[in-house]
Amino acid sequence: VPPPPAPQQPFAGPGAGQIAQAASVLAGQAVRTPVIRSAELDRRTGACVVLKAECLQRTGSFKFRGAFVAATRAREAGHRHLVAYSSGNHAAALSRAGRLLGQRVSVFMPYDAPASKVEAARSFGADVRHYDRYEQDRVAMASAYAAEHGGLLVPSADDPHVIAGQATATAELLAEHPDLDVVVVPVGGGGLMAGAVSAVLAAGSQAEVVAVEPVGSDDFVHSLASGQRESVTVGATLADGLQLATIGGLPWEVVRGRVRTAVTVEDDGLRSAVAFLVERVKLVVEPSGAAPVSALLTGTLDLRSARVGVVLSGGNVSPEKLRALLA
């Protein structure tokens, strides 16, 4: 009789060595994005805030980090065709990574994904397929397609290589500011948050990781309250990158018990934060990426006197949408 299988340990997230390996995969490929201060933001929040400008990352969001690391690992394993489902930024990031590494990329994007994000994925050579985010099971669709065509599914957050790549954003921030008390990140599938938690642990930092979600997609707030991974029915929000029903299973294992605070932001606050970042910080940040600044500016997150790191996670907003947001 074979011995019973050992009970599976929860995924602990990438350690210091794996984050360093991801950083070396990204060296010369990803931008080491600047960390920016704003005296006005400090004044309004009473905190000392440093902004990691991932809106200036290749393909316009931190998603390039995880996508490029995962695509590199896939290529090492012989995969020539990558498949993804994404509201936009992961699709563009994986498309770019695949092109750089000579892999074919097929992406499933919602019909209502911003046209500029669909165009970005196409411009990087991806084969774009559409789904209805409110009606269709995108995971099942993309998985069936990958199985049929011999492609490798690369999730946008629920993947150890993606999480290791995302961790490098917070690792760079902590390398410049080792004494942060708090790191604030927006949450969709939870890859950025799981990466942030992993980077904090790997750096031996005491920083607390705080999550921000839009009200229309506040599954993580519910998950923290119940202690289990919860799903919600997603509602409309300006933060299209955060519009997910639940975070991934692996991110949940990493952050569970380690992230204790999650807050929500509304569209009005997102609009004001995007405008603040354009006017006062001179950065174009999309609503999803501006969510943490929105939580700080509205006082939903009161971090007075704390040293706060914020990941401005992306800047992919079309001129037309930006104009409407600033109007």
Ligand X SMILES: Cc1ncc(COP(=O)(O)O)c(C=O)c1O
Binding residues for ligand X, per CB under 6 A? 61, 63, 87, 89-90, 156-157, 186-193, 241-242, 286, 288-289, 313-314
Cβ proximity to ligand X, 72 vs 288, nearer residue = 288
Cβ proximity to ligand X, 74 vs 311, nearer residue = 311
Cβ proximity to ligand X, 60 vs 151, nearer residue = 60
Q: Are 94 and 67 in contact (CB under 8 A)?
A: yes
Q: Are 286 and 261 in contact (CB under 8 A)?
A: no
Least CB distance from residue 191 to ligand X, whole Å?
Answer: 3
Least CB distance from residue 90 to ligand X, whole Å?
Answer: 6
Q: In sequence order, which ranges of the chain are alpha helices (DSSP H)?
A: 16-26, 39-45, 63-76, 89-101, 115-123, 138-149, 160-176, 191-203, 219-226, 249-255, 267-276, 287-297, 319-326
Least CB distance from residue 30 to ligand X, whole Å?
Answer: 15
Least CB distance from residue 76 to ligand X, whole Å?
Answer: 23
Least CB distance from residue 144 to ligand X, whole Å?
Answer: 22
Q: Which residues pair with 153 in a beta bridge?
A: 83
Cβ proximity to ligand X, 1 vs 230, nearer residue = 230
Q: How far apart are CA 222 and CA 247, in angstroms?
A: 11
Which has the closest alpha carbon to 135: 218, 213, 245? Answer: 245
Cβ proximity to ligand X, 151 vs 292, nearer residue = 292
Which has the closest alpha carbon to 285: 102, 276, 161? Answer: 276
